[in-house]
Amino acid sequence: MKTECKIGVYVCNCGTNIAKTVDCDAVSAHASSQPGVVVCKSYKYMCSNPGQEMIIQDVRDRKLDRVVVTACSPRMHEMTFRAAIENQVAGVMLSHIFYRRLDPEWPASLSPRIARGLLRKRLGFNGIVITDDLEMGAVTRHCAFKTAVRQALRADIDTVLICRSAEKLTEAHALMTRKIGKSEDLRRRGEQSAGRIMALKAAYLSGP
């Protein structure tokens, strides 16, 4: 028998930017009655550290398989991220959250549309892009570990976090080495990624 997914729904009020036109509590109440939804919360700023910590804690405590975040569109806050990039933000960590309007198939951490299309091409970001831990349930319940590693390559991820298993780390390294060795395009992008990582090390780890 197929086990029903455990879904968490998080409704961002964005202060009053969303809440002044949308009844966020009513959206949350309606979402909580949907099949598979085990937790649903409305919060003033879901993008803030407390908001992110709330989601992370629920994923861990309730063993969520899927997370849905209703929040601002890129039209509202794209300029915020553009300003951060223009001020030479060193790196961006992509979470294992689905942004269905941006990529209906892959979470942000494994999405070529988000990492390559949005961050690299549209916003011109040239810092490093990091995933959250690929051994987290939000990934392992969505796809096989090897598939996640291949997606990280496709998405131009610079640093992949594998935090629990030395065996998985070795497996990912071997798979990446084989894939890069067989593809001139992946080799070229791998060299660009290594350049970004070395630039970051030179900027932050060099002596006085």
The tens place of each residue's pLDDT in the chain, 208 residues long, gives 345 778 889 998 988 888 898 999 999 999 999 988 999 999 998 877 788 788 888 888 888 877 788 877 666 666 666 666 666 678 888 888 888 788 989 999 999 999 999 888 888 888 899 998 999 888 888 899 999 999 999 999 999 999 989 999 999 999 999 999 999 999 999 999 999 999 888 887 866 5
Q: Enter the tokens of residue 194.
A: 């290594």
118: three-class secondary structure by DSSP: helix
158-168 residue pLDDT tens: 999 999 899 99
Neighbour tally for 118: CB within 10 Å:
20
